């Protein structure tokens, strides 16, 4: 009983840290975009958290953990609407549900992950997507697509049933790439911001508050202590501490290498590349944080740092406009981190690498196709892009009728 209490308290702390990550995402997004769209981004992030938890309670949790039958294909399952904890014959909460935490803690911890996928998309489509279509997309993607995708591995589905099971410790693919594929599809269907590409040349559109973006990244790094540390699913001292060490080392390596590499290529010390390098390292280590040595973690983070620099450049050359670098960080580094499980650490083998490839390919097809269907339908029925006037004047004024930074001097007597 005492061990369950200790484990459960640790899991609740991790749940709070993952919740805190949503503040980090919010600050990062508003910092890397323009002042006139700040309120719009904050509104989307608050909506994602609130509707995400409600949807995960009503349908998501039981879509993600349906209890697949032994003869099931492991593709889709659903147990019931809503959540209800397993009880003993005496009618009390069944504490044998899991050695590491209670049913309620399990739901809340997993629910915090659910909203992250749509948050990734929010940053990629910032400054030019209508608010209502985005909210509708969030409902379908968080409520249906994410939990179905998650069930394939974490819910005991077909990827877990492979001869060499697909491995994703905390979600390089199941969370980050699931959001990244949708972000890529959305950016392709939405088009670039006005002024981003002129006469075939890339034009930088600076964010309005880099200090806020920096704070956002540091908050996200702190939140990753819960994201990865909680994925141990207990307070096991050896495994939890190792996971936090590998997480931090990968983040540090990703930031340093991205900064150095971008400086060599572009001859300037770009803080935003440094920040995205840190995030790339964090996403990269997430799939195998519990399986890596410190040296492995540094290598995975360092390679993620190089990938970030190339990925950001490639996305620009393809005329894809991603204001916060979400595709490079979450999709491309998510793929790298997932494949790295078969290359580094305790699970490294050819068979494991092939299972990782199968997993990456499966999520690529499912998430790209499902997000395309949702967003393309919205585009053809109600439109997804704001008007030129609305984009130039800012979404805060036109979508919300107010400003995140009102000029109080105008109201002085």
For 363-411, how does the pLDDT look when each residue is reduced to its tens digit (9 = 90+)? 999 999 999 999 999 999 999 999 999 999 999 999 999 999 887 544 4
Q: What is the pLDDT of residue 412?
A: 46
Angle between helices 271-286 and 333-340 (to 10 degrees): 40
Tell me the torsion sign for CA atoms 174, 344, 292, 121.
negative
pLDDT tens for each residue of 230-265: 999 999 999 999 999 999 999 999 999 999 999 999
**Facing residues of 201 across strands?**
198
User: Would you say residue 311 has pLDDT above 60?
Assistant: yes
Our measurement of the distance from residue 331's CA atom to the centroid of its chain's CA atoms, rounded to an integer in Å, reads: 9
Q: How many angstroms separate the CA atoms of 16 and 314, rounded?
A: 36
The stretch 63-80 carries a mean pLDDT of: 86
CATH number, domain with residue 98: 1.10.3430.10
Among 65-69, 147-151, 330-334, 338-342, the minimum mean pLDDT is found in 65-69
What percent of the chain has a predicted confidence (pLDDT) above 90?
A: 83
Which residue's entry shows tokens 């490294």?
Answer: 348
Cβ-based neighbours of 237, under 8 Å, separated by 6 or more: none
Q: How confident is the model at residue 413 (pLDDT cuts 50, 70, 90)?
A: very low
Q: What is the pLDDT of residue 267?
A: 92
192 is written with which tokens? 């670039």
170 is written with which tokens? 């905390």
**Residue 64: which of 151, 141, 159 has the closest Cα?**
151
**In the Cβ-directed half-sphere of 377, how many Cα atoms lie within 13 Å?**
9
User: In which domain, by residue range, is 73 found?
Assistant: 2-411
* Cα separation of the two ends of the chain: 65
Count: domains in the chain: 1
49 is written with which tokens? 């958290």
pLDDT tens for each residue of 97-140: 677 788 899 999 999 998 888 899 999 999 999 999 999 999 99
The stretch 145-172 carries a mean pLDDT of: 96
Cβ-based neighbours of 247, under 8 Å, separated by 6 or more: 224, 225, 228, 229, 282, 285, 286, 289, 297
Please report, to the nearest 10 degrees, the dihedral formed by the alpha carbons of residues 178, 182, 183, 184 taken in order: 110
Please tell me whether residue 232 adopts helix, strand or coil conformation. Answer: helix
Q: How many angstroms separate the CA atoms of 373 and 337, rounded?
A: 27
Q: How many angstroms separate the CA atoms of 47 and 121, rounded?
A: 13
Q: How many angstroms separate the CA atoms of 321 and 309, rounded?
A: 15
Please tell me whether residue 385 adopts helix, strand or coil conformation. Answer: strand
Average pLDDT value for the chain:
93
Name the helix (H) or strand (E) containing 335: helix 333-340
User: Would you say residue 20 has pLDDT above 50?
Assistant: yes
Among 16-30, 187-201, 213-227, the minimum mean pLDDT is found in 187-201
Q: How confident is the model at residue 90 (pLDDT cuts 50, 70, 90)?
A: low
Q: What is the pLDDT of residue 408?
A: 55
Does the reported pTM lie above 0.85? yes
Angle, CA 16 vertex, CA 10 and CA 21 arms, to 5°: 130
What percent of the chain has a predicted confidence (pLDDT) above 70?
A: 96
The stretch 327-340 carries a mean pLDDT of: 98
Q: How many angstroms separate the CA atoms of 235 and 295, rounded?
A: 24
Cβ-based neighbours of 151, under 8 Å, separated by 6 or more: 63, 64, 65, 66, 68, 74, 76, 77, 157
Among 6-10, 99-103, 225-229, 283-287, the minimum mean pLDDT is found in 99-103
Q: Which residues of 192-207 are buried (b: 16+ CB within 10 A; e: fewer)?
A: bbeebbeeeeeeebeb
Q: How many angstroms separate the CA atoms of 367 and 326, rounded?
A: 16
Q: How confident is the model at residue 338 (pLDDT cuts 50, 70, 90)?
A: very high
Angle between helices 116-124 and 131-140 (to 10 degrees): 150
| Cβ atoms 166, 356 nearer than 8 A | yes
Q: What is the pLDDT of residue 91?
A: 65
Please tell me whether residue 166 adopts helix, strand or coil conformation. Answer: coil
Q: How many angstroms separate the CA atoms of 18 and 362, rounded?
A: 26
**Facing residues of 202 across strands?**
197
User: Would you say residue 23 has pLDDT above 80?
Assistant: yes
| Cβ atoms 232, 290 nearer than 8 A | yes
């Amino acid at each position: 009983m005492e061990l369950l209490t200790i484990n459960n308290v640790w899991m609740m702390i991790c749940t709070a840290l993952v919740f805190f990550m949503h503040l980090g995402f919010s600050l990062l997004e508003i910092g890397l975009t323009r002042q006139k769209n700040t309120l719009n981004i904050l509104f989307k992030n608050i909506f994602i958290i609130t509707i995400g938890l409600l949807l995960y309670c009503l349908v998501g949790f039981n879509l993600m953990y349906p209890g697949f039958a032994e003869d099931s294909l492991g593709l889709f399952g659903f147990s019931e609407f809503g959540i209800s904890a397993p009880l003993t014959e005496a009618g009390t909460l069944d504490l044998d549900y899991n050695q590491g935490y209670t049913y309620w803690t399990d739901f809340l911890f997993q629910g915090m992950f659910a909203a992250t996928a749509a948050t990734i998309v929010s940053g990629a489509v910032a400054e030019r997507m209508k608010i209502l279509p985005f909210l509708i997309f969030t409902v379908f993607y968080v409520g249906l697509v994410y939990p179905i995708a998650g069930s394939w591995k974490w819910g005991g589905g077909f990827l877990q049933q492979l001869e060499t099971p697909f491995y994703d410790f905390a979600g390089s693919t199941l969370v980050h790439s699931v959001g990244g594929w949708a972000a890529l599809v959305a950016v392709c269907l939405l088009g670039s911001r006005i002024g981003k590409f002129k006469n075939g040349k890339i034009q930088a559109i600076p964010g309005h508050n880099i200090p806020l973006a920096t704070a956002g990244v540091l908050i996200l790094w702190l939140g990753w202590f819960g994201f990865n540390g909680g994925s141990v699913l207990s307070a096991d001292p050896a495994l939890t501490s190792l996971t936090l060490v590998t997480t931090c080392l990968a983040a540090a390596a990703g930031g340093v290498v991205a900064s150095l590499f971008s400086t060599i290529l572009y001859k300037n010390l770009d803080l935003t590349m440094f920040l995205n390098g840190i995030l790339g390292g964090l996403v990269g280590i997430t799939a195998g944080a519990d399986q890596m040595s410190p040296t492995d973690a540094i290598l995975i983070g360092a390679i993620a740092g190089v990938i970030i620099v190339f990925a950001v450049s490639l996305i620009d050359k393809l005329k894809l406009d991603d204001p916060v670098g979400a595709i490079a960080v979450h999709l491309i580094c998510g793929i790298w981190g997932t494949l790295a499980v078969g290359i580094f650490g305790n699970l490294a083998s050819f068979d494991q690498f092939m299972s990782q490839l199968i997993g990456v390919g499966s999520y690529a097809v499912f998430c790209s196709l499902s997000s395309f269907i949702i967003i393309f339908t919205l585009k053809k029925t109600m439109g997804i892009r704001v008007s030129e006037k609305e984009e130039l004047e800012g979404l805060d004024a036109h979508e919300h009728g107010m400003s995140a930074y009102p000029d109080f001097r105008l109201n002085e007597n």
